[in-house]
Structure 1
Amino acid sequence: MSWSLPSPGELRERAGDVLLHRVAGPSAHEKRARIHGAPGPRWFGPERPVRVVHADASMYVGGLAALLLQSLHPLAMAAVAAHSGFQGDPWGRLQRTSTFLAVTTFGVDEDAARAVERVRRVHAGISGTTSDGVPYRASDPHLLGWVHCAETECFLRAQLRYGRRPLDAAAQDGYVADMAEVARRLGVDRPPCTRAELTARIVAYRSELRATPESRATARFLLSDPPLPAPARLPYAFLAAAAVELLPPWARALVGPPRATRLLLPVARPGGRAITAAVRWAIPPPPRPGAAEAARAPSHG
């Protein structure tokens, strides 16, 4: 019996399948075909900045940074720790989040509206009290606003640092405005619509943010103990360092990354570039948009 090494194309296909199945679930290819290929109007046209950002491999760095930044709000962290099951089923949570972003960014408007309604129903059933006795509701517009601002800031920061074609100033404002469209539908009150407004809104939240035992545990889990096979640990360590380095210095200090991640911070940017390049190599381009995409629901200024 003769053995032959897989070709570069076969290696690429295998790596892409593994990554897609981790991020989007076992039906990843079917989801992609539906989201990108179904005919019909979309919330965002092909020219919108949100499509540029959310189609880029930099989202892998931005997504991890967003989770770390979001965890610094004690009420948001309490809700996640008590109700999301992110440590018991981290891949399931990642797959649900990535599918929501893909559907609302690229999917037909009916699917996007259904995805938003599902999230709103879940939020409506989540409430509780922090370890300090402070009540919270996941549907609280102010709390939703923090989660929205944190992810918008981190996705945008990652695109500017690691994106294939970093957005110019006008497109950055356009991205924040695009994200605000979805945020309003989720229940966020007056989401920021420009980069300057986003920066000011995050500053306004600063007094509410702090490190907690829950946020520290989240950082340890995400940065030191992710449920990954041994061969993926080293690449992930560089991804984790890139995500931490992406955060503003004040947030990085509150996150308190573990020593192994801190040691990699001096090489976080070249490591982040290598990781995003590897993801671009492995993940195949999405299917062509549906033929009837020309008609779109909302208009953008």
Structure 2
Amino acid sequence: MTESPTPDWVRSLRGKILIALAGDPTGMAPYVRAIAEGVDTGYFAENGPAWTVHAGTGTLVAGIRALLLQALHPGALAGVHDWSRYREDPIGRLTGTVRWVVTLTYGSRTQADAETRRVGRFHQRVQGEYRAGDGTDRRYTAEAADLVRWVHLAFTDAFLAGHEASRKPIPGGADAYVADWATAGRLMRVVDPPLTRAALRAEIDAFADRGELRGGERVDDVVRFLRRPPFAGAMGVAYRVLFAAAVATIPRRYRKMLGVRRWPLPVLTLARLVLRVTERALGSGPRAQDMARARLRRLEREAA
């Protein structure tokens, strides 16, 4: 039996999604193709927790949630406000983050280390001043231990929550993902990152308990932008559902700081419908994990 051709609307949707995520309508940006060329197995096991979570379409919810939560730390937000071009080039900002995640998750150790150094070189320039939660003015750098830690915590919690919202299993469960992705934290010089979901959530709450997180005009500005980015047509409608889903996964304490509310609709159910359509579109061609599997099979043949 021959396979039915992929509908034009699916190919079109896939191209639009991949431009937003990878900056390339085929999904095969140069860094993605390079994943197949490495000479070692990488930092993360094939089909392990990080592979599974980061391959899922729940990452679309997670990315929005991570940006919202990260914005609650005024130091992290100052770095984005002062140094990021997210307003002028939101797609570029997104694809830069996606490149780091994809490369660390699926690339060889050599490629992942090079990507970490690339991000580190940019971070060396990021510095300035911000008004802390206690009202004092403080200096910041992107390499400051507390800011790097907060970004790791917010990212890990967001991607875990986004995947759980999709109702897909994680090999070994939530704790296994937190422990697996702690490797990325260490690569970014996070000291002793949390290894369980309970420890992760406790550290996030500790930031709030110490008064290090707060809302404000800059946070409101980020929320307004993330609520309605420049996506038109069906993508714009789908994005609004995913934004609402991201909000729904955030604990009430942090929703109040962000000034956002849950929809009075079964938004997670709606989001899962959007994610299923997205998954069908993305499944119509090769992705980063396919490049990683090609590398792993080649290494197996060479070792035989």
Give the distance between the partners of 2:119 and 2:47, measured in 1 at CA: 27
Matched, 1:212 2:211: no
Matched, 1:198 2:200: yes
Give the distance between the partners of 1:266 and 1:254, measured in 2 at CA: 22
Contact preservation (8 Å) 1:74, 1:212: no
Q: Indicate which of 234, 249, 252 corresponds to 2:252.
A: 249
Contact preservation (8 Å) 1:244, 1:252: yes
Distance 1:293 1:14, change over 3 A: farther
Matched with 1:171 is 173
Q: Which structure 2 residues correspond to residues 67-216 of structure 1 after superposition, within 5 A? A: 67-130=67-130, 133-163=137-167, 165-167=168-170, 170-206=172-208, 207-216=211-220
Contact preservation (8 Å) 2:65, 2:246: yes
Matched letter for residue 182 of structure 1: A
Matched with 2:267 is 268
Contact preservation (8 Å) 1:35, 1:102: no
Contact preservation (8 Å) 1:242, 1:265: no
Contact preservation (8 Å) 1:40, 1:109: yes
Q: Secondary structure at the match of 2:140?
A: strand
Q: How far 1:32 moved relative to its partner?
A: 3.2
Contact preservation (8 Å) 2:74, 2:214: yes
Q: Secondary structure at the match of 1:62?
A: helix
Show structure 1 runs of 5+ residues with no match. 1-6, 296-301
Q: How far 1:37 moved relative to its partner?
A: 6.4
Q: How far 1:54 moved relative to its partner?
A: 0.2
Q: Secondary structure at the match of 1:29?
A: coil
Calculate the TM-score normalised by the size of structure 1.
0.87
Contact preservation (8 Å) 1:24, 1:95: yes
Distance 1:38 1:220, change over 3 A: same
Calculate the TM-score normalised by the size of structure 2.
0.86
Contact preservation (8 Å) 1:211, 1:255: yes
Q: Secondary structure at the match of 2:265?
A: helix
Distance 1:293 1:12, change over 3 A: farther
Higher relative contact order (CA 8 A, sep 6+): 1
Distance 1:294 1:145, change over 3 A: farther
Matched letter for residue 82 of structure 1: D
Matched with 2:9 is 11
Q: Secondary structure at the match of 1:191?
A: coil
Matched with 2:65 is 65
> Higher mean Cα deviation, 57-66 or 270-279?
270-279
Q: Secondary structure at the match of 1:208?
A: coil
Give the distance between the partners of 2:24 and 2:264, measured in 1 at CA: 33
Q: How far 1:184 moved relative to its partner?
A: 1.0
Matched with 2:239 is 236
Matched with 1:299 is none
Aligned length: 282
Q: List per-residue Cα deviations over 1:144-170 (Å, max 9, x = no partner).
A: 10110011001001111214x3227x4
Give the distance between the partners of 1:113 and 1:43, measured in 2 at CA: 10
Distance 1:211 1:228, change over 3 A: same
Give the distance between the partners of 1:47 and 1:283, measured in 2 at CA: 18
Q: List per-residue Cα deviations over 1:104-160 (Å, max 9, x = no partner).
A: 000111110001111111112111012563211110111110110011001001111
Q: How far 1:292 moved relative to its partner?
A: 4.1
> Higher mean Cα deviation, 265-274 or 62-71?
265-274
Show structure 2 runs of 5+ residues with no match. none
Matched letter for residue 167 of structure 1: I
> Higher mean Cα deviation, 186-195 or 100-109?
186-195
Distance 1:265 1:294, change over 3 A: farther
Q: List per-residue Cα deviations over 1:70-91 (Å, max 9, x = no partner).
A: 1001111111111111111110
